[in-house]
Structure 1
């Protein structure tokens, strides 16, 4: 039975996020252990939701204001697929307007950036019980492989999903070659 997620054997070992990992801001590095704790708490919440059928447990930490405006909290999820003649990158950007998205090529990187704006107007009479949605600027930097054709890039935005297709130069697709071994 095949799972809806790609099997690990189908995942390519290319390091698409090399430049993004290099560009951590000092603020994000200083708080990295806290991000890990919050990520772990979110994973535990999902585990309890699956085990107990969605019963709401109290949130022990209120982190909505603590991390406001820091790098890394608003980061669109991406999928990267390799085809014979192209790479297809999909990014989930729900709630982001098309005119708030920016896609650019910078040296050997594809940069997806934009802003998710809050559509909620603060009203003095509102009593907010919980805030889980994130707003603000985001930026994803994807390092392109050597066989990516930067002159052959197209993008489409539909229903909160950005799809970027990058052609491949099949002459560079294989960096593997046989080396002849000479006798003695």
Structure 2
């Protein structure tokens, strides 16, 4: 599932022709990095690949003042088909990826218990910081924020809280994982 491709095609289908800078700005304004693996810096290479594949096409070049010339793209009929396929894939595929922490935990029997505790506490701190970042971003409403955006943010918060709960459970059971020496 290519989230960047889905984001670009959906943006062009929803908002009409745009240049790469507008799409990149939309990714920042929509805070796509909070709820997807879309990285604004990867959008330009994705645009070029999708143009080569006939999913989008350039319709004009614009230049304002001293700014660089910008190519404006629109989605093609083939791009619309790809958008529907990607959206269908994203809505039907349940993708809960294994977390490498599970593998590391399975191989942690020889670790010092306090070291493992420190790793887990650091992970919990990072997860809480991520929740705080989402909350902070949502405290500042953005243009076109919709009930869908709020539900997506809730989904991210709930998933992170589940991770925090699991990490705390591991901490509670650390003596069973690594017996005192």
TM-score (ref. length: structure 1): 0.20
TM-score (ref. length: structure 2): 0.21
Task: Identify, as 1 or 2, the structure richer in strand.
Answer: 1
Task: Identify, as 1 or 2, the structure richer in helix.
Answer: 2
